[in-house]
Each structure stands twice: as C-alpha cells, then as structure tokens.
Amino acid sequence: MTRKLLATAFIIASLGGTLVCADTGNSGQISKRDISVHDPSTIVKCHDEYWLFFTGRGIPSCHSKDLVVWEKGPIVFTNAPDWVAAAVPDKQGNGFWAPDIIYANRQYLLYYSASVFGRNTSAIGVATNPTLDPNDPRYRWVDRGIVVRSVKGDDFNAIDPAVAPDIHGGLWLAFGSFWSGIKLIELDPGTGKRVSPDSTMYSLAQAGSIEAPCIHRHGDHYYLFVNWGLCCRGTNSTYNIRVGRSDAITGPYVVKTGTDMRHGGGSLFLETAGRFIGPGHGGVLSDGVIDWFSCHFYDGDRGGARTLGIGRLRWDADGWPVLTPD
C-alpha cells in the first residue's frame, strides 16, 4: 500500500467495510487486515517498526513496518511477577489487562493491570526494556513492581493504565474503571513509578459506566478520551468513545458544551456503526506530521471477533479531534 493510500484510509485489521466517526458523519475506507487484539496500547515505534501490546496471557504484542500488515510478537511475561499473587490474591493465571507503553528516559515503560473482573482489588505494575527488538542483545523485560493499587473499600479501580507526558517533561498515569471514574497520578520519569505513595490523585472524569482513558496533547490542549458503555460482550457490547479537553493535564476536562467531565460530560467521538461494534481503548500515535488513532472493535460479521482499528486523526477548526478521509 502506498503512503498516500495509507494516509487516506481508515485501516481495520479485518474484512472490508466502513466505520463512521460520530461527530462528523465522515467515514474512511476499510482495508482488509488480519490481526486480533483487545484493549490495545498506544502504538509506539522502535527503530523502523511499530509495536503495540494488548490484553492476554503474558501481555502479548504485535508489530508492523507500515501500520497495515501486523505480525505477532513475543509476550512480556512467561510467569506472573511475584507481587501479583499478594496484591490480587483471587487473580487466576498469567493474564493481564489493557497495557500501555511509552518511551521515556531511554527506556520503554510498559504499564499493565492485574485484577479480577468486576472487583476493584486491582493493581497497576510497570516493566521496562531498553528496546522492543527481540533480536537486540539488550532486549529484556524487567518488572519494576506496583505503581498504584486499589483495594475493597477504595472509591476507584486501579486498572486501564494510560501513560502521558506533559509539556514540561513530566510524566503522568491516568487510569480507572467504573467506581468514581478516571484518576490521574504523577510519575517519576526516571523510574516510571509514582512520585510518592501519597502524591495527589486527581479526578478527571466520571459517568455511570466509564473506563479506558487516553490522554494526548495537541496544540495548547490536553485531550482525554474515555470509554462509556460496556465491553467484552461481543456483538452486544455498547462501548463508545467520548472526549474532552483541558489547558492542564490535571484538568478540568470539559466537552464541547462546556460540561466538566467530572460531572458526566463527554462529547461523542466514535460509536458503533454497522458491523463495527463497540469501539474502545483509544490511543494516539503522532508519527511526524500525521496523527493516528487506534482502538479495538467487535466485528459483527465475524461473530464479534476482537479486531484492531487504526485511523487518520485530524483536528477541526475549533481544535476538536475527528476521523476523516484525506
């Protein structure tokens, strides 16, 4: 596929079709691609390859040279880190949820969540690697332990990590699922861990069913993407993606109508359209002058198969994100 065609396409790693961007009614043309993921991380680049990580046993990965053809990569963990059994005693197996990744301080920081479905006995850990290339002799994932955790009685749930830098060189972690919504803590850019155990935990957004945050800075604003609705129900999933923005990474994030996201605001960004059901877990890759938006969806023509979507992200005259054809 040529760069021109790639730039104009909304690429779905599946069979052909169309996914509608909720705010504009515009759509991109779908190219046939074949990769199954759920809760994809932000896409990052290592040398000349793109990488993403996703929910599954050992934290699976996949990689691509062109954002079109994707191949499976290695898992991060052969065995669960030792701390997991004590922090999340009812968790079974070596499966981890909704990882996210960033390159900072000459290393890749990979955040992931350990939890039991429907409970907030949860923890987010971080692992580091100087490279994502498994053929590089330096390649080695080292788990660095817990970043933040929640226990029964807390009003938040420490899952769905989303790591983001600020304009001043700081590093932050958004997270949260249901309970009192989306939270934010500051990280030490050198270690990737929380700056202190009792550092401020900011509230960013709340709704009846909310999770899967993603923060991206564009221009003078930080944009907070979140999911409303329910995932993990195949063709019955009701996931949709909402967005708000703020002048500061700590908020407040407001939507197009001016409503604070902490008070139930959320401008609709992407929703179910035809076979493309329940888009979720958004991420933004800025690759030179082009921004790409990634997510998963449930393919209604393949029994709700979990599938990767990547689209061209643009910004309208008022500075709001849209998915549009070229």
Which positions are catalytic?
39, 211
* Of 130, 139, 13, the residue nearest 66 (C-alpha): 13
* Of 239, 219, 241, the residue nearest 231 (C-alpha): 239
Residue 59 CA to residue 42 CA, distance in Å, equals 14
Alpha carbon distances (Å) from 299 to 31, 215, 289, 294? 14, 26, 30, 15
Contact 128, 112 (CB under 8 A): no
Cβ burial, residue 270 (10 Å; 0-12/13-18/19+):
buried
Amino acid at 277: I
Q: How many CB atoms lie within 10 A of CB 309?
A: 27
* Of 298, 204, 272, the residue nearest 244 (C-alpha): 204
One DSSP character per residue, 18-31 reads EEEBTTT--EEE--
Token pair of 124, please?
């987010």
Q: Kindly provide the b/e burial profile for residues 93-122, where b requires at least 16 CB atoms within 10 angstroms of the residue's own CB.
A: ebebbbbbbbebeeebbbbbbbbeeeebbb
Residue 57 CA to residue 55 CA, distance in Å, equals 7
Contact 41, 283 (CB under 8 A): yes
